[in-house]
Amino acid sequence: MVQKISYKAGNEELVLETGRMAKQANGSVFAQMGGSAIIATACCGSTAQEGLDFVPLTVEYNEKYYAAGKIPGGFIKRETRPKDREILVSRLIDRPMRPLFDKAFGREIQVVPTCISTDSVNPPDIIAINAASAAVHISDIPFAGPIAGVRVCLIDGAYVINPTYDQIAKAKLEIVVAGTKDGITMVEGDADEASEDEMLGAIEVAKKPIAEICAAIEELRRLAGKDKLPLAPLKAELARKDEIEAYARPLLEKALFTKVKQERQAAVAAAIADAKEKFASVLTDDIQKKLFGALMEELQYEILRKGILNEKRRVDGRGLEDIRPITCEVNVLPRTHGSALFTRGETQSLAVTTLGTVFDEQIFDDIEGDRRERFMLHYNFPPFSVGETGRLGTGRREIGHGNLARRSIEKVLPPKERFPYTIRVVSEILESNGSSSMASVCGGTLSLMQAGVPLKMPVAGIAMGLITEGERFAVLSDILGDEDHLGDMDFKVAGTTRGITGFQMDIKIAGVSTAILKQALEQAKRGRLHILGIMEKALPAPAAEISAYAPKVVNLRIDVDKIGAVIGPGGKNIKALCDTYGVKINVEDDGTVTIYGSSQKAAYDAKDAVLGIAEDPEVGRVYEGVVKRIMDFGAFIEILPGKEGLCHISRLSKTRVERVTDVVHEGDRVKAKLLEVDRLGRLNLALVDALDENGQVVADQQRESGRDPDRGERRGERRDGPRRY
């Protein structure tokens, strides 16, 4: 039986329907907003595995080209591996939902939201969040939800719920907020140096529609929900649990507060091994070993949190608001365009900037339409950064962290008109112990400045944590990996001295109050300003000149009706220019021409050539031209590419010339003045050497005074031989 509910989310109605499509899935919901639609399914495995210490959840958001009436580009005409955008949306769905699944369920869970229609007006990601939540909630998979999501934009001082693409493009702040009816669990977005109050306002605005969408999903479950499957908790209990806990607790309390990460890890491992050896007689099977491991995790969780709440004591000895020691080094690599090494405690990013041409822009072919990006930030997290072995590659984590860092920096980049380079930043994480994405923001900013990119303002980032117990709470600045793993919040904030540019928040508990968020943002601001101050000491301003190894760029603008002449038939002219001067040339539809050369001279020579093609010859102007042909009566000189004029023999010099070759030869570069363009469009020239101090042709003046410099006699006088005309 088909069941349907709807909710007015912003300007459009969100419709959730079940019972018509994909009925063999554990849960299936068709969601529509305007002309955009998602089919979301949820399935689980048939057997449960007892004692899992994680939730085996995968979220696979995918977009079909037919949704936008497109056929995939390239040779392969079907959708293949996930694009970055699909992975980022999968993470938006996964992060708020994952904490609401019970580990004791023990079965694999797969959520597949598929975009099957898009109107290029309403973004499908928000629809996918709500459709995925509804599909799981009405299914028989245990889920402590539902969750709901909305996008909030700040446009001209007003908050807009679920804006269109056009509205998003105009927004000062864009934020995706997800949560349950009890509170916010996930926030992600960017801003154009927004204030902390503006961000808090956006989160507050999101709470009401989120609660109402959750209520609508609850209603859909009432109409069409299935009975939930049972959990599969471990039925056994750890033998001698109290004795093991009493023995292990003091060992872990000492080990956990070792300041250096690797020493701390070794100390914790030794304490656990000691306890395991002490009670080896009872840890005889896999179930007992799993229960022992769970107890060790529980003890670490409790000890770390109580140390912070009761003693204001963190594992590395810092106070709650203290930031680890920071060092900033720039120009650390000899041949790159820009490089920086940013180290904060045991987290280190080697950031490298490369400047390229318009031909290096990232091309996207997706359902939103073909587009190009001139700024890329790629984040790499090799296993050696945490002292481990493993496979190298780009996973969802790398794509998500890189996207956050990219969005945080993108707002301060100069416009393309001012800095016409394609920019790529790569952050190599060499060490990691907390917030390597924010280290990428700091290192990336320094490498961009060292490369000579004129950023509007430097950007820094910091990760905040939260520990709660009842009414008590502690907000932590610059969290470690352990504090992230065992804490209640991971809140990353990046920005300038003037405001926030990027943020991401994951909350593991329900009901984080506005007061807590406000304190976290204020504390993050103080930390951000501290980091920016250290960065400023290392590099006060962007380098005045770009690297000698970077391409040299020259910009100019030509009349639109001259574009065809510059390009030429089949691109003949522009290819010839590129080959002649060793450059790359890009011509935009508005007449903007960008020339990229390996040297400044090559770029400017090519610029002169382009201007020569695009310009009309100007009477009275002196040109530097090339002698192309020699005739008895004069020389043809190319003053502009493809534009030749005649310099008559009488205008080669101030004195009489017997033969043209006495003055010029083919291939000579000469300076010539354009005297006139006759009614047939022919160009008449005179060499500069034939001009007097007033720029007039001496031979012409002599004719006007009655002397003919070619014949050396008075006009009208007889002479032997035929007359010359």
Single pTM value for the model:
0.84
pLDDT number for residue 687: 94
pLDDT number for residue 573: 87
**Rounded CA gap, 697 and 711, in Å?**
17
Give the distance, in angstroms, between the CA of residue 103 and the centroid of all CA atoms in the same chain.
34
Nearest Cα to Cα of residue 342 among 480, 458, 438, 456: 438
Give the distance, in angstroms, between the CA of residue 657 and the centroid of all CA atoms in the same chain.
67
Is the model's pLDDT at 338 over the cut of 50? yes
| 563-594 confidence digits (pLDDT tens) | 998 898 889 889 988 998 899 999 988 899 99
**Rounded CA gap, 611 and 562, in Å?**
10
Is the model's pLDDT at 703 over the cut of 70? no
Residue 240 token pair: 């001698």
CATH topology of domain 326-538: Ribosomal Protein S5; domain 2 (3.30.230)
**Rounded CA gap, 338 and 316, in Å?**
33
**Rounded CA gap, 182 and 704, in Å?**
99
Is the model's pLDDT at 140 over the cut of 70? yes
Is the model's pLDDT at 45 over the cut of 60? yes
Which one-letter amino acid corresponds to residue 721? G
Residues 134, 135, 138, CA angle at the centre, nearest 5°?
80
For 644-656, what is the mean pLDDT? 92
Only one residue has tokens 């329900």, namely: 510
**Could you write out the DSSP letters of every residue in 522-581?**
HHHHHHHHHHHHHHHHH-SS--SS--TTSPEEEEEE--GGGHHHHH-GGGHHHHHHHHHH
Cite the residue boundaries of each domain of the chain with CATH code 3.30.230.70: 3-224, 326-538
**Rounded CA gap, 150 and 700, in Å?**
81
Cite the residue boundaries of each domain of the chain with CATH code 3.30.1370.10: 552-614
3-state SS of 694-705 is CCCEHHHHHHHC
pLDDT number for residue 643: 83
Helix (H) or strand (E) holding 592: strand 592-597
CATH topology of domain 3-224: Ribosomal Protein S5; domain 2 (3.30.230)
Pairing of strands 362-366, 347-356: unpaired
631: number of Cβ within 10 Å: 11
Phi first, then psi: give them for residue 436, nearest 5 degrees: -70, -25
Nearest Cα to Cα of residue 353 among 500, 549, 536, 88: 549
Angle subtended by helix axes 261-278 and 241-256, to nearest 10: 160
pLDDT number for residue 708: 54
**Rounded CA gap, 486 and 302, in Å?**
9
pLDDT category at 702 given cuts 50, 70, 90 is low
**Could you write out the DSSP letters of every residue in 617-643?**
P-TT-EEEEEEEEEETTEEEEEEETTE
CB burial class (10 A; 0-12, 13-18, 19+) of residue 433?
buried
CATH topology of domain 622-714: OB fold (Dihydrolipoamide Acetyltransferase, E2P) (2.40.50)
**Rounded CA gap, 321 and 676, in Å?**
77
pLDDT number for residue 114: 98
CB 179 within 8 A of CB 207: yes
In 195-218, which positions are buried (b, 16+ CB within 10 angstroms) versus exposed (e)? bbebbebbbebbbebbebbbebbb
| 169-219 confidence digits (pLDDT tens) | 999 999 999 999 988 999 999 999 999 999 999 999 999 999 999 999 999
| 90-117 confidence digits (pLDDT tens) | 999 999 999 999 999 999 999 999 999 9
Residue 680 token pair: 């047939």
**Rounded CA gap, 62 and 26, in Å?**
19
Is the model's pLDDT at 238 over the cut of 80? yes
pLDDT number for residue 39: 98
CB 457 within 8 A of CB 303: no
CB burial class (10 A; 0-12, 13-18, 19+) of residue 560?
exposed
Share of the chain above pLDDT 90, in %: 67
pLDDT number for residue 364: 85
pLDDT category at 701 given cuts 50, 70, 90 is low
Only one residue has tokens 């949190």, namely: 305
Mean pLDDT of the chain: 91
Radius of gyration of the chain (CA): 36
Cite the residue boundaries of each domain of the chain with CATH code 1.10.10: 241-311
| 715-725 confidence digits (pLDDT tens) | 443 344 443 33
CB 449 within 8 A of CB 338: yes
Residues 672, 675, 680, CA angle at the centre, nearest 5°?
115
Is the model's pLDDT at 88 over the cut of 50? yes
pLDDT number for residue 204: 95
For 527-539, what is the mean pLDDT? 97
For 335-364, what is the mean pLDDT? 94
Nearest Cα to Cα of residue 351 among 505, 551, 501, 539: 539
Is the model's pLDDT at 642 over the cut of 80? no
For 493-505, what is the mean pLDDT? 96
CA dihedral defined by 248, 254, 256, 262, rounded to 10 degrees? -110
Nearest Cα to Cα of residue 478 among 434, 416, 537: 434
**Rounded CA gap, 397 and 411, in Å?**
22
| 187-200 confidence digits (pLDDT tens) | 999 999 999 999 99
For 403-419, what is the mean pLDDT? 94
Q: Spell out the CATH class of 241-311.
A: mainly alpha
- CATH number of the structural domain 552-614: 3.30.1370.10
Cite the residue boundaries of each domain of the chain with CATH code 2.40.50.140: 622-714
3-state SS of 273-339 is HHHHHHCCCCCCCHHHHHHHHHHHHHHHHHHHHHHHHHHCCCCCCCCCCCCCCEEEEECCCCCCCEE
CB 27 within 8 A of CB 109: no
**Rounded CA gap, 474 and 597, in Å?**
55
Decide which of 702 and 239 is more confident.
Answer: 239
Peptide bond into 146 cis (omega under 30): yes
Phi first, then psi: give them for residue 42, nearest 5 degrees: -135, 130
Is the model's pLDDT at 616 over the cut of 50? yes
Residue 466 token pair: 């939260």
pLDDT number for residue 722: 40
Helix (H) or strand (E) holding 343: strand 338-344
Angle subtended by helix axes 196-224 and 514-538, to nearest 10: 130
**Rounded CA gap, 250 and 252, in Å?**
5
Only one residue has tokens 């007003």, namely: 158
Share of the chain above pLDDT 70, in %: 96
pLDDT number for residue 706: 56
**Rounded CA gap, 212 and 684, in Å?**
80
